[in-house]
Amino acid sequence: MSKTFKHKDFELTIYVEDTDFQGFVYHANYIKYFERARSDFLTKNSISQEELKKSNLVFVIKRIQIDYLNPAKLGENLLVQTKVDKKSKVRMLFHQSIKSIDTDIQICEGIVEVCLIDIETKTPKPFPNDLLLIFDSGEVNE
């Protein structure tokens, strides 16, 4: 049942607000950058998190594994690369990495396990048909 798709790369620039006093990106911000790329994947594929929430459904992170390899610095341009792996109708893995556009150095990489749950019951629910069809059809929008 597992199918993997590469999503369009997501670019960003490092600003002062992203960094610590040394000018390096604060470690938690890499998780935010991963989140932006995942949200971009959903948006580009017409999956509205706002509409899902009206039905009491939200995406949640079950697990994050991240390896920090090199620090990103103030002013650097980064590329978040994302591959999405559908493991089942209720579980997706996002294989994500960040590299510097300026130096081509790998900054970090991680795996984020995502599920959809009912807000009230806190139980897993199948992903929306629109999302499942992306994997079944093999057509991912970028």
> Which residues carry out catalysis?
20
User: Which are the contacts of 86, defined by CB distance < 8 A and separation ≥ 6?
Assistant: 1, 2, 3, 4, 92, 132, 135
Q: Report, in angstroms and rounded to the nearest whole number, the Rg of the chain calculated over CA atoms.
A: 16
